[in-house]
Amino acid sequence: MKPKAQITMFTVVLGVSIVLNFFSFGRLYLNSDDDPDLTWTEDAAEEAEAVASIKCSGHGMAFLDGLVSVEGKPVCECHACYTGPDCAGVIQGCFIEADSGDPMFLEPFWMQHASGSTIVLAPWHRMSYDLGDGSLISKELETRIHKLHEITKNANTDGKYIVFGAGSTQLLNAAVHALSVDNDPAASRVVASTPHYPGADRILDSDNYDFNGDTYTHKNDIGNFIEFVTSPDNPDGQLRKGILEGSNVKRIHDFAYYWPHYTAIPYPTDEDLMLFTLSTLTGHGGSRFGWAIVKDKAVYEDMLKYMSLSTYGVSKETQLRALKLLDVVIATAGREMFDFGYSTMKERWGKFSKVLSMSKRISCQQFDPLRFCNYFQELKGPTPPFVWLKCEREEDVDCNAVLKLVNMIDWP
């Protein structure tokens, strides 16, 4: 080849090489959001975003597994008291059902944090009964739970064991079995201070356990007791401690509301058996995920056995979901979620207190004074998710009937 032709050839090859490199660089660094390699997730992602974009006026939501129109398309499922195709209509004379709680107040937070917390579930995701290491508990999720308590400063988990359950409801059953003498739930008397939440009532007051009612009535009794302590309490929001004394007394501490959106965190709890739940932490009651933090190895093993025999652990899909949600919480050391949660609760309490102050007939619980919150590093008052109402007039013996007059259905 002549020198001129050689130079021309060299120039062409160099030119092609630069162009190719330019495109490779562009694909790698400039266009990474537009990854052309996405194949099997694309349809699912489009489907998920399409259903999420259905407008329900902020009073409802459409779901992939929810109600559908006659054409088979997902439609809005409206919140209580709202109606219409876009949930914009108010149902006149609708009753507020205040006889149970559903922590949906964090839904807007999760809608703002969709990209960090969305999971893609492949059909082959963890089909096996066990995880790779033969256990039923994701080690990564366990690590996140330790981290979460460390940043929130609400529980000391050092050297303790963690058991996962389908919400604290299942863990409460596991705990009563594990703490009962000879694992026989009928051999120990179970007590809880009143007022306590109906969920605990339903479990403890069932045929499975020897439920003996209010703790105070057994203050001087001797025998085997399992004391159920909820702190802050549902419904009155008070921080509580155990009451019974003695070596035959075992305690289950339900700390469902011991998080900075509901209460000041004055100290990290350090009890033998503590229950926590995703339902009240992130608002995902439907995912059915909770954890117990257990000091004693034998109790931990008994609880694991109960979990294994009752449901063979917690669904792996739920564990993955919890992991991604906790990652979002931990990413800002909890600040974004707890700030949002606290200010939402505070605003609601402000509105509610204003309305209630106009009534001489109904009042609500007195609150604890401000306390220093180790998480927010400032004085905070309680912002509990429940109200403990009282009818002030002597003649209002049936307080539920009074509340029904203003379209409220309360606990019986």
Ligand X SMILES: Cc1ncc(COP(=O)(O)O)c(C=O)c1O
Task: Pick the closer one to ligand X by CB: 56 or 230.
Answer: 230
Task: Pick the closer one to ligand X by CB: 240 or 305.
Answer: 240
Contact assessment for residue 279 and residue 272, using Cβ atoms and an 8 Å cutoff: no
CB of 74 to ligand X, least distance (A): 26
CB of 170 to ligand X, least distance (A): 7
- Which residues, 82 to 101, sit near ligand X by CB under 6 A? 101
Site size with ligand X, rule: CB under 6 A: 15
Q: Give the interface segment with ligand X, choosing from 62-70, 108-116, 133-141, 275-283 (CB under 6 A).
A: 275-283
CA atoms within 13 A on the CB side of 238: 14
CA distances from 3 to 7, 10, 16, 361, 405 (A): 6, 10, 20, 104, 101
Tokens of 280: 């009240």
273 binding ligand X? (CB under 6 A): no
What is the Cα–Cα distance from 276 to 291, expressed in whole angstroms? Answer: 5
CB of 253 to ligand X, least distance (A): 11
Task: Pick the closer one to ligand X by CB: 290 or 341.
Answer: 290
384 binding ligand X? (CB under 6 A): no
- Which residues, 144 to 203, sit near ligand X by CB under 6 A? 167-169, 197, 199
Instruction: Work out which of 152, 157, 234, 263 binds ligand X, going by CB under 6 A.
Output: 234
Where b means 16+ CB within 10 Å and e means fewer, 186-217 reads eebbbbbbebbbbbbbebbeeeebbbbbebee
What is the Cα–Cα distance from 165 to 314, expressed in whole angstroms? Answer: 6
CB of 405 to ligand X, least distance (A): 26
What is the Cα–Cα distance from 125 to 69, expressed in whole angstroms? Answer: 31
Q: Which residue is nearest to ligand X (CB)?
A: 167
CA distances from 37 to 32, 33, 40, 131, 267 (A): 10, 11, 9, 28, 49
Task: Pick the closer one to ligand X by CB: 62 or 168.
Answer: 168
Task: Pick the closer one to ligand X by CB: 225 or 291.
Answer: 291
CB of 378 to ligand X, least distance (A): 26
263 binding ligand X? (CB under 6 A): no
What is the Cα–Cα distance from 402 to 409, expressed in whole angstroms? Answer: 10
CB of 32 to ligand X, least distance (A): 39
256 binding ligand X? (CB under 6 A): yes
Instruction: Work out which of 85, 89, 268, 285 binds ligand X, going by CB under 6 A.
Output: 285
290 binding ligand X? (CB under 6 A): yes
Instruction: Work out which of 212, 215, 277, 318 binds ligand X, going by CB under 6 A.
Output: 277
Closest CA to 203 of 239, 233, 167: 167
Tokens of 330: 């931990």
Q: What value, to the nearest 5°, has the Cα angle with vertex 270 and ends 212 and 306?
A: 55
Q: Give the interface segment with ligand X, choosing from 140-148, 277-285, 299-307, 352-360 (CB under 6 A).
A: 277-285
224 binding ligand X? (CB under 6 A): no
Q: Give the interface segment with ligand X, choosing from 7-15, 144-152, 216-224, 274-282 (CB under 6 A).
A: 274-282
306 binding ligand X? (CB under 6 A): no
259 binding ligand X? (CB under 6 A): no
Beta strands 60-61; 371-373: pairing state: unpaired
Return residues touching ligand X (CB under 6 A): 101, 167-169, 197, 199, 230, 234, 254, 256, 277, 279-280, 285, 290
